Amino acid sequence: MKAALQNYHTRMQLVLDYIDRHLDDDLDLDALSSVACYSKYHFHRQFAATFGLSVHRYIQLARMKRASYLLAYRDAQSVTDIAMEAGYDAPDAFSRAFRQRFGQSPSSFRKSPDWEPWLAAIRPLDNARSKLMQKTFTISDVTIRNVSSTSVAIIEHRGDPVTLGATIQRFIAWRKAAGLHPKTSPTFNVWRSERRPASPADYGVDLCVGTDQAIEANGEQIKAGEIPGGRCAVLRVVGNTDNLEPAALYLYRDWLPASGEEVRDFPIYCQRLSFFPEVPEHETVAELYLPLK
């Protein structure tokens, strides 16, 4: 029974991965049911029963999420090009659908995103993805490394995580102006609080980019800092890297007590090695670092 359920989940996960990789293609029931090796006459009901939303709505939300990231975090593409990538033949149709979904036009969202209704609209997609993406970590997934210290430029986010998207926008714009491309300058997040503190106002994370060059603020509140070198427990996470809390919980709750190690006086942090939408969401990679004595 357990093996059969695991096989079912594996086949459904293959469908989600296929959708991630082929958002620009015609994702019809014939194609998706063949990926899962299920009858097309039953697949749409199986999908809805498994994920809590129809396959059509899932694809729409996945395309809209990618379009949102391109609008908010990437300025190289026009709204028309983004509309076409989202599967719309005309910018007007895309604009109406986007406004209906998120309460803003695409051009307004690009200029000044309202993240709270966006998060609420995207939540069914994230909930669906999380149903089969609960990772199980083992001791063999954790390595201990001696890492070198890294000089970083920091933009701090303090306050409600709902507004984190705006801070990420500023961070991306600043590093672009500074010529610190992710392929040549490493990206780190240093957590200064729990992911969901009792009061949202207490949430804190540092957005960091590795650089040895002199920092020009360019109108931003930029701090120079350092991620100290030393021993770290490192856990690599592939896919669903928006939420690294399960990996952090594994390190603290399971790995650390069993290891006999003691933590060092520096917060847990991650290095982001690949990013959505440059790669499909299930191919994003982050490494979580727990500093040790």
User: Which pLDDT belongs to residue 94?
Assistant: 95
Q: Examine the domain organization and report whether 175 and 38 are in the same domain.
A: no
Q: Choose the final residue of a domain: 103, 130, 157.
A: 130
- Taking alpha carbons only, the member of 234, 229, 266, 261 closest to residue 147 is 229
User: Which pLDDT belongs to residue 170?
Assistant: 93
Q: Examine the domain organization and report whether 285 and 145 are in the same domain.
A: yes
Copy the structure tokens of residue 119: 């998060």
Answer yes or no: are the C-beta atoms of 292 and 231 closer than 8 Å.
Answer: yes
Answer yes or no: are the C-beta atoms of 16 and 55 closer than 8 Å.
Answer: no
Q: Please tell me the pTM assigned to this model.
A: 0.89
Q: Choose the final residue of a domain: 65, 96, 130.
A: 130
Q: Which residues contact 246 (CB under 8 A, 6 or more apart)?
A: 134, 135
- Tell me how far apart the alpha carbons of residues 66 and 21 are, in angstroms, rounded to a whole number: 12
Q: Which residues contact 193 (CB under 8 A, 6 or more apart)?
A: 202, 203, 204, 205
User: Which pLDDT belongs to residue 145?
Assistant: 97
What residues make up the domain containing 35? 2-130
User: Which pLDDT belongs to residue 283?
Assistant: 93
All residue ranges of the chain with pLDDT < 50 are none
Q: Examine the domain organization and report whether 117 and 143 are in the same domain.
A: no
The amino acid present at 249, given as its one-letter code, is L
Q: Examine the domain organization and report whether 33 and 150 are in the same domain.
A: no
226 forms bridges with which residues in the sheet? Answer: 151
User: Which pLDDT belongs to residue 134?
Assistant: 65
User: pLDDT tens, 91-139?
Assistant: 999 999 999 999 999 999 999 999 999 999 999 999 998 877 667 899 9
Most distant CA pair in the chain, distance: 62
User: Which pLDDT belongs to residue 166?
Assistant: 93
